[in-house]
Amino acid sequence: MKIDENTKFEEAARAWLAIKKLEVKGNTFEESYRRTVEKILSPRLDGLALGDITRDTQTELFSYLAETYCDSTLRKCVIVLNAIFAEAVYQGANLKALPPIKVKSKKPPKTKRTYTVEQAEEVEKYCKVHKY
């Protein structure tokens, strides 16, 4: 499928995903790419032609997403959206690349729990003698 500036986001994303699926391992494809497109980007961008996705659209999208998602998920979204546009440009679409955007999550970070050296050694000992 040829992607141009009139191609709807969902069609361009589907075409890009088909290419990406050949380039990465299955789990990486599912978690980093397909999920990002289908669960996060598509609900907000489906129905828009690539040429209608502007800096304002991008700013509005990421302002909304920053309320719900952590920084690493937001970075994935930026990468995927830029890659879809890059593929369209590669195929000859008359599009300008999306301007770089840095997004900071508004969601408070989760507290990370770590093991002490002693706790880690105890878990390791336990694992050596218990099958599961």
Q: Is there a contact between 67 and 61 (Cβ–Cβ < 8 Å)? A: no
Q: Is there a contact between 39 and 13 (Cβ–Cβ < 8 Å)? A: no
Q: What is the DSSP letter of 67?
A: T
Q: What is the pLDDT of residue 64?
A: 96
Q: What is the pLDDT of residue 107?
A: 87
Q: Is the pTM of this model over 0.85?
A: no
Cβ neighbourhood burial of 67 (10 Å; 0-12, 13-18, 19+): exposed
Q: For residues 97 and 125, give the distance between their C-alpha atoms in angstroms, rounded to a whole number.
A: 53
Q: What is the pLDDT of residue 69?
A: 95
Which regions in the chain score pLDDT beneath 70? none
